[in-house]
Structure 1
């Protein structure tokens, strides 16, 4: 398989962008993609997300759930160690979502409310489940999933890298057999809160490239963004058969 990637990250209505995202090609048919949304204020969130991305990209991937869990644990340990460096970093935390592909297999995992979506045949077929208070209300049947975006407690996280008591990681239990035409979207909450899943599908159907898919969703986001809206970041990954155009 070959992979086409596009990344968008903006501060939104804030002065500082505490999101971070990047990717690394490790061989012609393997790569890693990472997104993190920092928390903590006073510059700590920005430091946490950058360090998480650096750590998660540092090792060559294996399309195995244990590899994902180990990398996120390593990033968590780096954040915890950094909390003691200065007073400003004492409360730094970050979410993280990590996707790895090797050959025809992919696996992913996350901590917090940064999400991964998988589209196949143009339709959303899988997405991560947030580690958040509002998600527990959905699980209990007290809220509908669509209500997460507007709930007053939507930013109350139950897990993040740097949280005391250890890190909570959810990993896809089995690697996915990739197919040409598969599309992944990694997104911070500042992005997915303002772009509906049905709109992600609509823009995917119109897009000739991963970059144009991101651009279409960005247009929708900006039509709704107001005031001091959150940082927002998205990573689009398109899967091509070997020999197709990719970048």
Structure 2
């Protein structure tokens, strides 16, 4: 089983890019993290970088007894990252005491053919199977709560004036809401994962993300289309955006994933 990846990050219309991402791979394991910082004055980019570095450092040294990585274990790694941000807040002081970060971490075990993920905030993970969304993380946000309560249509959450109000983010001493998949999920040839910050999904709804996956020949081509859509439709001062894609392929010689809606991957 091979994992084909691609990534993109863009400063957008902001003075600095407060998003961070990273991945790590061994013969058996693949980890990736995407984080979206907030706090200004360098705090946001510092917070998101702490998340990525902390999570990857933590997961690299899992024992055999901890494999395959589970959603619960990944949530624990985000808890550790939260503690590290809090410590850095105390060290920096001043305006950086409020720096925060959202995050998603994904782990794939090639040997066990499993995946797991955990997240906090409104950075999202999409899991595609046979060209359709099989799972998607639920935002820790006011507008997500409104959608769940049927007070707001899902298609309206991207433009709601309170869209940026979050109920959870890393960098807090209070009780923290970190969501995770229970245990692990099986991965199959043709499965695809997209992790992205809100700066991207604000301009690409679920239908568009799915349609562009089906027409893309490679992960890089898919991200090119998504990034171009953001740049074409975003306001002048639009947010940073970052995305990372991981496709599962059984043929190590192939980097192209062919999908037909409702059919098993070729």
TM range (shorter): over 0.9
Matched with 1:187 is 196
Displacement of 1:246 = 5.1
Is 1:123 paired with 2:129? no
- Alpha carbons 1:18, 1:38 under 8 Å: kept: yes
Which SS does the other structure have where 1:57 is aligned?
A: helix
Which SS does the other structure have where 2:151 is aligned?
A: coil
1:25-44 aligned at under 5 Å gives the runs 25=25, 27-44=26-43
1:81 to 77, 80, 87: 87
Matched with 1:71 is 77
Taking structure 2 as the reference length, the TM-score comes to 0.89
Alpha-carbon separation, structure 2, partners of 1:32 and 1:242: 20
Alpha-carbon separation, structure 1, partners of 2:204 and 2:188: 25
My pick for the range that moved more, 47-56 or 167-176, is 167-176
How large is the Cα RMSD of the aligned pairs? 1.4
Matched with 2:101 is 94
2:120 to 111, 114, 119: 111
Which SS does the other structure have where 1:38 is aligned?
A: strand
Matched with 2:3 is 3
Which SS does the other structure have where 2:91 is aligned?
A: coil
1:210 to 219, 222, 246: 219
Is 1:177 paired with 2:186? yes
Displacement of 1:164 = 3.1
Deviations 1:158-182 (A, max 9, x none): 0000123032110011311001111
